[in-house]
A and B are shown apart, each in its own frame.
Chain A
Amino acid sequence: AQSVTQLGSHVSVSEGALVLLRCNYSSSVPPYLFWYVQYPNQGLQLLLKYTTGATLVKGINGFEAEFKKSETSFHLTKPSAHMSDAAEYFCAVSEYIQGAQKLVFGQGTRLTINP
């Protein structure tokens, strides 16, 4: 069965600093990987996803993630944090089931941006 581990339930960075949110996965098949973000009082929103092809994936709001098979990682980065990036971030791996998609999530990382 697939699983996801996010290192750090809470990350705090200064505005303008690099954001790095860590995600490691376990999968017996080539994984499809996702990062979702949840802003306060909103639903989870897709930031980016890796399926096949280029291992560096660019998403919305300046975020990107790199799939590293050798490290079983899919860390999320942004070069320069903005106050509006404060949210909870979820890494997930997709498990195909008959006739539907099932996401297996990590425990989430709450990102705080300090002025």
Chain B
Amino acid sequence: EPEVTQTPSHQVTQMGQEVILRCVPISNHLYFYWYRQILGQKVEFLVSFYNNEISEKSEIFDDQFSVERPDGSNFTLKIRSTKLEDSAMYFCASSREGNSNEKLFFGSGTQLSVL
């Protein structure tokens, strides 16, 4: 089965630094997502992206966050100035359609540690 690929698997950064988390969605998918899971908490929706623009974002996704599809294959999440509370596992996902019953394909995640 095709896979969503995320790099790096682990990222350690200093507070205030910028980080970019990278994802390669499945090639014929059109909808892209970021979710995150803080240790011990629920997996939370961050943002959805379609047709080169954000279609929905959560309250968590403030001005410090941005997403981009810089070329035909990559989908990135940038955090401009990281905070301690940004430490979490970040999951990228993609789907072919944007329907409510659609299956999402998730990557294995990037564990971000902010020191």
Q: Which A residues form the contact surface with B (CB < 8 A)?
A: 32, 36, 41-46, 49, 51, 90, 92, 94-108
A22 CB to closest chain B CB (Å) equals 16
Complex CA distance for A99 and B32, rounded to whole angstroms: 11
Residue of B nearest to A4 (CB): B42
Chain A residues within an 8 Å CB radius of B44: 105
Q: Indicate the size class of the contact surface on chain B.
A: 20 to 34
Q: Which B residues form the contact surface with A (CB < 8 A)?
A: 3-4, 6, 31, 33, 35, 41-45, 48, 50, 55-56, 91, 93, 95, 98-109
Chain B residues within an 8 Å CB radius of A41: 108
Q: Tell whether, in the assembled complex, residue B98 and residue A105 are in contact, meaning their CB atoms are under 8 Å apart.
A: no
A30 CB to closest chain B CB (Å) equals 10
Chain A residues within an 8 Å CB radius of B109: 43
Q: Tell whether, in the assembled complex, residue A32 and residue B56 are in contact, meaning their CB atoms are under 8 Å apart.
A: no
